[in-house]
């Protein structure tokens, strides 16, 4: 059971907007800790996608965006491409002094 | 550009100790960064194990704290993980990564699969 809750799977067509939610609690996201997102293609290491809630590292396409409100955060993919099929993880920090992850969401591009 | 590479035995016997090293290249491990370990059991999600800074200070996941020891060797520019009393549940790909001040992890190593089996 992950500390942060994500839907197991989402899907969308290239012309759509897909969102992945990440729900935490008052001891992590709600305590003001930043949320970060990673993309993991099977067989490879996770790759940083969004950091500090809304920021994209250099090289990440602008179709990826992040937001945070209260005890939750979201990753949006506007017009997903075939190469975006992957597992997506949110991550934050907890007042128990531990980094915490969501359980992961598999994105299928229709 | 900082790169990380995990190394160590790929097979550990039950009740034994898992030992991995993460070698940092393209930068100094003595910079003011924390260095972290994350693991991923086959087909499952990510679990944070803990982190260490160049002073040797550590923070461990409370769920693993009793079995984990991390160390750092500035002369070799690497840091290490030891996990004691392993069981099959510790079978996973183990990743090392650099931690940012706001606790995101980047970059990551490619990962090392460690299997616990007799």
| Residues on chain A touching B109 (C-beta within 8 angstroms) | 45
Residue B104 in contact with partner chain A when CB distance is under 8 A: yes
What's the pLDDT score for residue A96? 87
Question: Which residue in B47, B100, B110 is closest to A45 by CB distance?
Answer: B110
Closest chain B residue to A34, measured at CA: B102
A103: CB partners within 8 A, 6+ apart: A2, A4, A5, A6, A8, B45
* Alpha carbon distances (Å) from A75 to A47, A48, A63, B54, B60: 14, 13, 10, 33, 28
Do the Cβ atoms of A51 and B100 come within 8 Å? yes
pLDDT digits (tens, 9 = 90+) for B11-61: 999 999 999 999 999 999 988 889 999 999 999 999 999 999 999 999 999
The rounded distance, in Å, linking the Cα atoms of A88 and A66 is 12
The rounded distance, in Å, linking the Cα atoms of A89 and A97 is 19
Q: How many CB pairs under 8 A join A and B?
A: 64
pLDDT digits (tens, 9 = 90+) for A41-96: 999 999 999 999 999 999 999 999 999 999 999 999 999 999 999 999 999 999 98
pLDDT digits (tens, 9 = 90+) for A47-58: 999 999 999 999
Do the Cβ atoms of A51 and B47 come within 8 Å? no
| Residues on chain B touching A20 (C-beta within 8 angstroms) | none
Residue A16, pLDDT > 90, answer yes
Do the Cβ atoms of B45 and A46 come within 8 Å? no
What's the pLDDT score for residue A15? 86
């Amino acid at each position: 059971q992950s500390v942060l809750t994500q839907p197991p799977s989402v899907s969308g067509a290239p012309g759509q907007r897909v969102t992945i939610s990440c729900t935490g609690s008052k001891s992590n996201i709600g305590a003001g800790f930043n949320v970060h997102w990673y993309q993991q293609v099977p067989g490879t290491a996770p790759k940083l996608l969004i950091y500090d809630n809304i920021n994209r590292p250099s090289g990440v396409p602008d179709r990826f965006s992040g937001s945070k409100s209260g005890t939750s955060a979201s990753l949006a993919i506007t017009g997903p491409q075939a190469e975006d099929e992957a597992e997506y993880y949110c991550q934050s920090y907890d007042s128990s002094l531990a980094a915490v992850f969501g359980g992961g969401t598999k994105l299928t591009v229709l | 550009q900082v790169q990380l590479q995990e190394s160590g035995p790929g097979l550990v016997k039950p009740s034994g100790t898992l030992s991995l090293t993460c070698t940092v290249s393209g930068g100094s491990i003595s910079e003011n960064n924390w260095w972290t370990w994350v693991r991923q059991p086959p087909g499952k999600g990510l679990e944070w194990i803990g982190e260490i800074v160049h002073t040797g200070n550590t923070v461990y996941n409370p769920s693993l704290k009793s079995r984990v020891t991390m160390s750092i060797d500035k002369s070799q520019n690497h840091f290490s993980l030891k996990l004691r009393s392993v069981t099959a549940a510790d079978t996973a790909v183990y990743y090392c990564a650099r931690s940012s001040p706001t606790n995101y992890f980047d970059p990551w190593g490619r990962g090392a699969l460690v299997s616990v089996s007799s």
